[in-house]
Amino acid sequence: MKANRKRIPIVAANWKMNKTCAETVAYLSRLLYSLEELNGTVEILIFPPFTALRTATTYLENERKTDIFPLIGAQNMHWELKGAYTGEVSLVMLLELGIKHVILGHSERRRIFNETNDIVLKKVKAAAAHGVVPLICVGETLEERNEKKTEEVLKNQLVDILEFFKESGFNDFIIAYEPVWAIGTGIAASPEEANDACRFIRALVGSYLSPEVASRIRILYGGSIDENNFEGFLLEPDIDGGLVGSASLDVEKFVKLIRMAVKHA
């Protein structure tokens, strides 16, 4: 049964530490060629590595051929605009490239680079202050899930951010539910499990902000999405698309996912 929603689905590609500038051009060329025949309302977000951002934005600026047009976002950012932060990239640098979306709080940033909820909050505040849409990732580990702490973890990861949104009036954001145990493992949550978590997140947004904001905020699922399971997630009423990892690196596979989203838009 098709989900009854008014929200525009999102299909987002997180390339992580993959693809050179040359590979980026080849990918985008093939992607645009494949999108020409598509009709329907979906939003496509692509998050290349920092080194390929200028290449991606410049290429797309010169190749506008379709109404279904991908937007380029960044995989991370620092909360300060400048300073002695070796190896970091600021919002000023991203804005110069026309970047309007950024992934924040991804589990790999939290786990590998020790980003805390406080750090994610600082980044969200900085993005909001400059009109950049944060794609905020949340999710529990397998141990937390087995201990039935999923909702507790999701609330802990979101409560301070939602408090900030309430105080500031900022409500242009996207949330991705990415259970840590499903990222890169090939083991996806079931559509029903993912929808339960997304429904909880939407209710949380409603309780801190408003039912109106909760009804229009897009909540994505991420974690071992592929062409065999994505449609099941799209059919769930509280899932508005996907944040895709490894399957997004293959343009043909990614186009299949986009076609599914168009079908259910």
Active site residues: 106, 178
| Exposure b/e, 121-154, CB count within 10 A at least 16 = b | bbbbbbbbeeebbbbbbbbbbeebbeeeebeebb
Among the listed residues 10, 16, 72, the one whose alpha carbon sits nearest the alpha carbon of residue 260? 10
101: left (phi over 0), alpha (psi -120 to 50) or beta: beta
At 18, list the tokens. 């993959």
What are the two backbone dihedrals, phi and then psi, of residue 31, each rounded to the nearest 5 degrees? -65, -50
Q: Rounded CA gap, 249 and 74, in Å?
A: 16
- For tokens 């009036």, what's the residue? 169
Strand 101-104 and strand 133-138: the pairing is parallel
At 211, list the tokens. 């039912």
